[in-house]
Amino acid sequence: MTAENFRTIWLKPDDPDVVQIIDQRLLPHAYTVHDLRTWQDADTAIADMYVRGAPLIGATAAWGLYLAALADPTPAGVRAAAEALLLSRPTAVNLRWAVERILRLVAASGDDLAQRIRTDAQAICDEDVEISRGIGEHGVVLLEEIARRKPGETINVLTHCNAGSLATINYGTATAPIYFAQQRGIDVHVWVDETRPRNQGSQLTAWELSESGVPHTLVVDNAGGHLMQHGMVDIVFTGTDRTTRCGDVANKIGTYLKALAAHDNGIPFYVALPSTTIDWHSRDGVAEIPIEERDPEEVSHIYGISNGKPTRVRTTANDTPVSNYAFDVTPARLVTGLITERGICKASEEGLLSVFPEMRDE
């Protein structure tokens, strides 16, 4: 989203004991604000994907710990909530990052734990907006370079899942360079992957691009290779849920296949990420990143609107066995570069350390 004041999570203006979110399960058919009153509400919102996207998952967990401290302002109470929240979604490393940040506050001495957590949860959100802005500033340079190479022509970006404003606090990661390009008058068009089974592309990315007036076209997940073969994609931008120290990238299932197709067609494949998504303690993404397996019904059923009513229908036979891997890992060798808030770097340990030198001994 390009509106300055758009936020995906906030304190209820007239009741600071309540955190509010957009119930993303209902988009694009309904824009509904949902109240979180307990840390268990935050836990449900993350696990059941009212909110999703790595940075927003982390922020929601931080606000969940604020709600935990309101109910039980003891370190033990907050730590118990933290343990449970950490299990809500396993792949996005921002969740652990945010929970550990809040737990450092819990360990420090001071009055009014809930108010201290509230201040830090708000800081996490404000910092995330600035991080996305940084990613936009650096990533837009790639689009400006393409615009120089093909003056007067539309730049076609392909994206997968939703790494947009809805996945962060505002601006998104993969979408931030696109929004910045639009503001600079660059003619940009986005191919939006549907992103089965949860359809974050068709239901979220398409919605937020439309709200921001960015030209886009929805395609089925398997169309990417065809578009690339026919010169209809200039660059691929995706987000990530966890990137290892060596530049392996976990993202929504299907990202790896897009990277393979991009590699085969000589198309640049960039991953946009905040530093909070880097797992400095893992190296080999395929071996070390836990891949979330979700409810098989997300695959066997499909959700939509029929005659104005939300409807869920089964598309398979009753006894078809189903598995539902939610993420995959794209090896660093297939990633042209990583767009961070500090700049663009190679997808490698040296590349990441060139922009985050303070992590060398981590």
Residue type, 278: I
* Amino acid letter for position 288: E
Based on the shown chain and the rule CB under 6 A, indicate whether residue 90 belongs to the binding site for ligand MRU.
Answer: no
The residue among 132 and 336 lying less far from ligand MRU, judged by its C-beta, is 132
- Torsion angle of C-alpha atoms 148, 149, 152, 155, degrees rounded to 10: -90
- When asked if residue 201 is in the footprint of ligand MRU (CB under 6 A), the reply is no
Measured from the CB of residue 238, what is the shortest distance to ligand MRU in angstroms? 6
Query: For residue 196, with 0-12 CB atoms within 10 Å meaning exposed, 13-18 middle and 19 or more buried, which class applies?
Result: middle
**Which range binds ligand MRU by CB under 6 A, 68-76, 103-111, 176-184, 236-244?**
236-244
Tell me the two tokens of residue 301.
């059923």
Residue of 128, 241, 279, 328 marked catalytic: 241
Find the binding residues for ligand MRU in span 245-264 (CB under 6 A): 251-252
Closest CA to 254 of 197, 304, 191, 320: 197
Q: Which of 21, 124, 140, 167 binds ligand MRU (CB under 6 A)?
A: 167
Minimum Å gap between C-beta 55 and ligand MRU is 5
Active site residue 15: no
DSSP lists the bridge partners of residue 252 as 327
Told to check if 224 binds ligand MRU by CB under 6 A, we report no
261 backbone dihedrals φ, ψ, rounded to 5°:
-65, -40
Strand partners, 330: 249
Q: Which stretch binds ligand MRU (CB under 6 A): 167-175, 227-235, 340-348, 352-360?
A: 167-175
239 interacts with ligand MRU by CB under 6 A? yes
Residue number, 48 or 112, with CB nearest to ligand MRU: 48
CA angle, 6 then 7 then 10, to 5°: 140
For residue 81, what are the CA distances in angstroms to 57, 89, 99, 130, 357? 15, 14, 10, 28, 33
Distances, alpha carbon 107 to alpha carbons 66, 102, 223, 293, in Å: 15, 9, 50, 33
Task: Draw the binding track, 39-78, toward ligand MRU (x: CB under 6 A; -: no contact).
Answer: -------------xxxx-----------------------
Amino acid letter at 124? I
Residue 208 sits in the site that holds ligand MRU (CB under 6 A): no
Q: CA-CA distance, 155 to 143, in Å (whole number)? A: 7
Number of residues located near ligand MRU, criterion CB under 6 A: 17
Q: Is residue 192 near ligand MRU by the rule CB under 6 A?
A: no
The distance of closest approach from Cβ of residue 155 to ligand MRU in the complex, given in angstroms and rounded to an integer, is 21
User: Taking CB positions, which residue lies at the least distance from ligand MRU?
Assistant: 239
Is 228 a residue that touches ligand MRU (CB under 6 A)? Answer: no
Whose tokens are 């999703």? That residue is: 52
| Residue in 326, 329, 339, 345 binding ligand MRU, rule: CB under 6 A | 326
Judged by CB under 6 A, the residue of 2, 240, 282, 340 near ligand MRU is 240
Closest to 330 measured CA to CA, from 161, 98, 96: 161
Q: How far apart are CA 297 and CA 104, in angstroms?
A: 38
Given the complex with ligand MRU, which of 167 and 192 has the nearer CB atom?
167
Closer of 46 and 121 to ligand MRU (Cβ): 46
Asked if 174 contacts 166 with a C-beta cutoff of 8 angstroms, the reply is no
Give me the active site residues, please.
241
Q: What residues make contact with ligand MRU under the rule CB under 6 A?
A: 52-55, 92, 161, 163, 167-168, 173, 200, 239-241, 251-252, 326
